[in-house]
Amino acid sequence: MNLIKKVNFFGGLVIVIIIGSFFVEVLRESKKETTYQKESVFRLEQKEMNVAPEVYISSILLKQGDVFLIKIKSESPLIEVNGSLNSQDLHFFSWEETKKEWIAIEGVSVKENPGIYNLSIDFPNNQVFKKELNISERKFPIESFLVSESLKKEGYTQQKIVEEIVQKERLILEKIFEVSTEKSYFDKSFIYPLKNITVTGAFGSIRKSGDSAIQHLGVDLKANTGTAVYAINNGVARFSQDSKINGKTLIIDHGYGIFSLYCHLNEFKVTEGEEVTKGQIIGFSGNSGYSLAPHLHFAVKINKTSVDPLKFIELTQKEFR
């Protein structure tokens, strides 16, 4: 993508900033009504380079649970790129041996406090790029916290389910997400895990009953028992086990802190440590664990942060065409 002259933006706002001895800001507003998503391209002047590196941000207006991407393009190689959003480190990587293009894919926690966040990117020769990002509150729906008949027969209540998740299953999964593979298994854009996508349980919804509540950090997708489930990209299976709440659960490591999760499966088709390819059948959907009906619970983690998995896929398909 030529980010200077031929970029087709979806967000309705383009900002180009040249930082140096002078400052120029150009705004183009779409006639269409815009959403909270806006894109920006910036240029930071570096005297040592013929053309200054570009900083592209997929959106400067974000909501809780969103995903954003930063691209840096330079005519000269960059040994490394470091950055932060407030005090949180950004994770830049480069696919190219030339080291002329660097990318960071980051998530916004569902519990992130709304407000203005300071983005800072450090370049060689003490050059620093700064920009403010606006994170706003996302209204998550509140739903009834129901218990399946099979779990009721085993003595489970809403409170016991919460305890099982917090004290057992979450701790097991967090150990997997703690390990970030510093390489890219994935091949550019990601695909959907099912051939047909119908959402039956929204990302971020809060399931509540009295004082017991859990937040749904994935999406539930309509899938009859035995529906083929596909790897959303290349990776390595890091976890394929059965658990009381998540049921048969498969986790794929795509590299650079990106993981995909597939829960309530009926059958695994891959084992832990096995490499998988994008589009490969990795299992079949089911009704295992805490599940009220057959479906696929699908989730994505980026650097230990749960993000809206469908927005994540949409972003990669747009940016990595």
Of 109, 136, 163, the domain-final residue: 136
Residue type for 252, please? Answer: I
pLDDT in tens, the chain (321 residues): 333 333 333 333 333 333 322 222 222 333 333 334 456 666 554 444 446 689 999 999 999 999 999 999 988 899 889 999 998 999 999 988 889 999 999 999 999 999 999 999 998 777 889 999 999 999 999 998 888 787 788 888 888 888 888 778 888 999 999 998 999 999 889 999 999 999 999 999 999 988 888 899 999 999 999 999 999 999 999 999 998 889 999 999 999 999 999 999 999 999 999 999 999 999 999 999 888 899 999 999 999 999 999 999 999 999 987
Residue 51, classed as helix, strand or coil, is coil
Domain assignment of residue 4, yes or no: no
Domain hosting residue 104, numbered range: 13-136
Indicate whether 209 and 266 sit together in one domain.
Answer: yes
Q: Are 120 and 89 in contact (CB under 8 A)?
A: no
Q: How many domains does the chain have?
A: 2
Q: Is residue 289 part of a domain?
A: yes
DSSP notation for 255-271: ETTEEEEEEEEEEESS-
Q: Output the six-digit token pair for 82.
A: 């470091």
205's tokens: 């919804």
Tell me, yes or no, whether 100 and 183 share the same domain.
no
Structure tokens at 235: 């990776």
Tokens of 27: 């705004």
Residue 80 has a CB neighbour count (10 Å cut-off) of 11
- What local confidence, expressed as pLDDT, does residue 93 receive? 93
CA distances (Å), 278 to each of 33, 230, 241, in order? 35, 7, 21
Q: Are residues 36 and 71 in the same domain?
A: yes
Pairing verdict, β 281-285 and 295-302: unpaired
Q: Is residue 7 part of a domain?
A: no
Q: How far apart are the C-alpha atoms of 311 and 143, rounded to whole Å?
A: 21
Assess if residue 71 is contained within a domain.
yes
Is the pTM higher than 0.75? The answer reads yes
Q: What pLDDT score does 110 carry?
A: 97
Q: For residue 7, give both structure tokens.
A: 């970029």
